[in-house]
Amino acid sequence: MSKIYQALVVDDERLARNDLRLFLNNHKNIEVLVKATNGQDALDMIKELEPDLVFLDIQMPGMDGFDILEQISSDVRVIFVTAFDEFALPAFEVIALDYLLKPVSADRLQQSIERLELIPNDMEDDLRELEYHDRLLLKLDTSLGFLKISTIICITSAGDYSEVLCTNKKKVLVHKSMAEWETRLPHTFFNRIHRTTIVNMEFVDRLE
């Protein structure tokens, strides 16, 4: 018998939560722990209960699905469930296990759950190591955008956030710590030259 996964269903709409719950009841390896009704609720519950899996709606009052994703441990598998299809990009796999569109079909949900077994955790850890030509899907204010790793000139710390300067001269504020950047960025290119600064050596002209 395969592992039992403890799951949290996060959606601000009760009907949507019930609908998904009904489908999940058919999956003996999924145990729905609780259902969260908003972002803050979800975040508290994820921290307290440490579920294996979170079904996460994107659009919710206050804190949305991407805000939550940024703040939880990468050990938690996340499956986005949403009617919004503009985020359905191949790169979602960088951050989420899967992406389901409402109304969810039983077959598609089955595939998502099979992925749990197919993609082991240690491979997710590999995913966390970024390659120089990767694109990172990030939340930029209320929308999502791609950040090409190769376009990062430097990163400076800004409290809980960090500020990324890109080749297009734009600065973006990202909810990532310097430590996280340091572990994830490819070390052949990126150097933490100071507690508050990481630079891409490709853009260094000279040292003084």
Residues lying near another protein in the complex (CB under 8 A) are found at 12-16, 18-19, 22, 59, 61-62, 64, 83-85, 101-103, 140-143, 145, 170-173
Residue 177, Cβ neighbours under 10 Å: how many? 14
Closer by beta carbon to another protein, 47 or else 170: 170
Closer by beta carbon to another protein, 171 or else 187: 171
Report the nearest approach of another protein to the CB of residue 176 (Å): 14
63 by Cβ neighbours in 10 Å (0-12 / 13-18 / 19+) ranks as middle
Segments of 11-52 assigned E as strands: 30-36
Closer by beta carbon to another protein, 22 or else 49: 22
Q: Which two tokens stand for residue 196?
A: 């508050």
Amino acid at 109: L
* Rounded distance between C-alpha atoms, residue 192 and residue 176, angstroms: 15
Closer by beta carbon to another protein, 13 or else 131: 13
Q: Is 73 helix (H, G, I), strand (E, B) or coil?
A: coil
* Rounded distance between C-alpha atoms, residue 93 and residue 115, angstroms: 11
Report the nearest approach of another protein to the CB of residue 10 (Å): 15
Report the nearest approach of another protein to the CB of residue 67 (Å): 11
Report the nearest approach of another protein to the CB of residue 60 (Å): 8
What are the residues facing 154 on neighbouring strands?
165, 199
Closer by beta carbon to another protein, 59 or else 183: 59
Closer by beta carbon to another protein, 22 or else 201: 22
With beta carbons less than 8 A apart as the criterion, state whether 81 and 87 touch. no
Report the nearest approach of another protein to the CB of residue 104 (Å): 8
Report the nearest approach of another protein to the CB of residue 188 (Å): 29
- Taking alpha carbons only, the member of 121, 108, 120, 122 closest to residue 27 is 108
